[in-house]
């Protein structure tokens, strides 16, 4: 009976598991060969797969017990082709990025997006807010959340460490410009952004922004949108000049900023009030103008748009849901139940 019990536990770890009543298209084996959103559930250490055509959860990928070792509080997620890269800081950031992280280690996790199989699980010297493929997919970049901040660059095939780049104090998110030439690292304790040339792996600029920047989020319009958590502002950086063009006062602590290129709108999540605010570009005023806000769910956090810009998905960390949103009329079309403390999201077509 003990052997049968162990076997059942092992099989259960590699097959799909049901999240909720939204699993209308649930199969018994994971084969994600359709456009989907992948949502990281921090407290559960799982990834929910949402089929875009139905907005239903079709799979839940367990991150523990599948060759990945101990996974505590996975956070943000990125993709390249059929691979998903997940940062595992081992700490809950749902209430903001405060508290000491000194001495804490992180993990880099790579999984197959179609099968859910763990490809690589690697321990890191320090906590990592995210893990992200380079624009050409040949490298994996990982920020290290230490006072003497570093960025580690790994070969995406062999996982060998290629470069160590010095950043600012306590770097959180690392992102890339839309033209794929620069990396932007948000240094929370420096109130700055380190700009790294991808080719030379050198810091080419340090930009002063607001209080406690968490990420410089990529805009397809040649801008980077920095959410300054304690400053309650958005710093808009021009990628060409690496200078701050505009500072947008929010009046709330931002969860994340996201630019919808086809609609030319800037969205910012408001986790404490369970909302998303949006701004439209005013050509005459040459600045972003606040439009309105709408409710999503408690702990509104990450925002991802489909390629056509018509649909958005917002993770609601303390509501344990994802909101599917019609971006034309800014209305929630479906509330999708996922795992506990959903945060990072990526869409794969």
At 314-330, the pLDDT tens digits run 999 999 999 999 999 99
> Which ranges constitute the DSSP H helices of the chain?
2-14
Question: Can you identify the CATH homologous superfamily of domain 22-348?
Answer: YVTN repeat-like/Quinoprotein amine dehydrogenase (2.130.10.10)
User: Does residue 19 register a pLDDT over 70?
Assistant: no
Q: What is the pLDDT of residue 98?
A: 62
pLDDT at 14 over 90: no
Phi and psi of 74, rounded to 5°? -60, 150
Give the C-alpha separation, 128 to 108, whole Å: 8
| Residue 38, strand partner residues | 49, 346
- 79: CB partners within 8 A, 6+ apart: 38, 85, 113, 133, 346, 348
Measured in whole angstroms, how far is the alpha carbon of residue 251 from the centre of its chain? Answer: 23
**268 closest CA partner among 220, 236, 221:** 236
At 124-152, the pLDDT tens digits run 999 999 999 999 999 999 999 999 999 99
Tell me: pLDDT of 287 over 90.
Answer: yes
Task: Name the β-bridge partners of 85.
Answer: 78, 110
Answer whether 75's CB lies under 8 Å from 343's CB. Answer: yes
Query: What phi and psi values does residue 272 have, to the nearest 5 degrees?
Result: -70, -25
Distances (CA, A) of 173 to 32, 41, 62, 141, 148: 27, 18, 24, 11, 15
Phi, psi of 273 (to 5 degrees): -110, 0
Residue 67 CB contacts under 8 Å (≥ 6 apart), including other chains:
118, 121
Q: How far apart are CA 226 and CA 216, in angstroms?
A: 4
Reduce the DSSP state of residue 173 to 3 states and report it. strand
What are the φ/ψ torsions at residue 271 (nearest 5 degrees)? -65, -35
The DSSP code for 45 is: T
The confidence score (pLDDT) of residue 29 equals: 75
**Lowest mean pLDDT, pick from 21-30, 189-198, 295-304:** 21-30
Q: Would you state the pLDDT for residue 93?
A: 86
Predicted TM-score (pTM) of the model is: 0.91
Q: What is the mean pLDDT of residues 85-99?
A: 84
Q: How far is CA 297 from the centre of its chain?
A: 18
Lowest mean pLDDT among 38-52, 58-72, 285-299: 58-72
Contact 48, 63 (CB under 8 A): no
pLDDT of res. 94: 81
Angle at the Cα of 321 from the Cα atoms of 316 and 327, rounded to 5 degrees: 70
Label each residue of 235-255 as H, E or C.
EEEECCCCEEEEEEECCCCCC
DSSP 271: G
- pLDDT tens for each residue of 147-182: 999 999 999 999 999 999 999 999 999 999 999 999
């Amino acid at each position: 009976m003990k052997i049968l019990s162990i076997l059942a536990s092992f099989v259960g770890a590699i097959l799909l598991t049901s999240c909720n009543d939204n699993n209308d298209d649930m199969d018994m084996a994971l084969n994600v060969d359709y456009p989907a959103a992948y949502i990281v559930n921090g407290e559960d250490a799982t990834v929910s797969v949402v089929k875009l055509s139905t907005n239903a959860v079709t799979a839940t990928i367990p991150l523990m017990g599948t060759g990945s070792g101990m996974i505590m509080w996975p956070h943000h997620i990125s993709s390249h082709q059929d691979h998903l890269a997940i940062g595992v800081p081992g700490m809950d950031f749902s209430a903001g990025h405060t508290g000491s992280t000194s001495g804490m280690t992180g993990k880099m996790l790579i999984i197959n997006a179609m099968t859910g199989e763990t490809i690589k699980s690697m321990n890191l010297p320090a906590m990592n807010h995210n893990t992200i493929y380079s624009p050409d997919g040949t490298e994996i970049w990982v920020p290290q959340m230490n006072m003497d901040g570093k960025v580690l660059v790994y070969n995406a095939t062999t996982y060998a460490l290629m470069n160590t780049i010095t950043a600012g104090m306590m770097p959180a998110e690392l992102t890339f410009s839309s033209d794929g030439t620069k990396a932007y690292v948000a240094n929370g304790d420096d109130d700055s952004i380190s700009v790294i040339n991808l080719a030379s792996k050198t810091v080419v600029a340090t930009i002063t922004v607001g209080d406690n920047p968490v990420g410089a989020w990529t805009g397809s319009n040649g801008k980077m949108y920095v959410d300054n958590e304690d400053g309650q502002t958005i710093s808009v950086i021009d990628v060409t000049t690496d200078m701050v063009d505009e500072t947008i006062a929010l009046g709330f602590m931002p969860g994340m900023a996201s630019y919808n290129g086809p609609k030319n709108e800037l969205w910012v999540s408001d986790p404490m009030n369970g909302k998303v605010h949006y701004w439209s570009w005013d050509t005459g005023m040459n600045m972003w103008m606040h439009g309105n806000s709408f409710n999503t769910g408690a702990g509104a956090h990450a925002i991802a748009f489909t390629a056509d810009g018509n649909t958005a998905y917002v993770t609601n960390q303390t509501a344990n849901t994802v909101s599917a949103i019609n971006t034309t009329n800014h209305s929630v079309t479906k509330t999708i139940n996922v795992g506990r403390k959903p945060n990072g999201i990526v869409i794969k077509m």
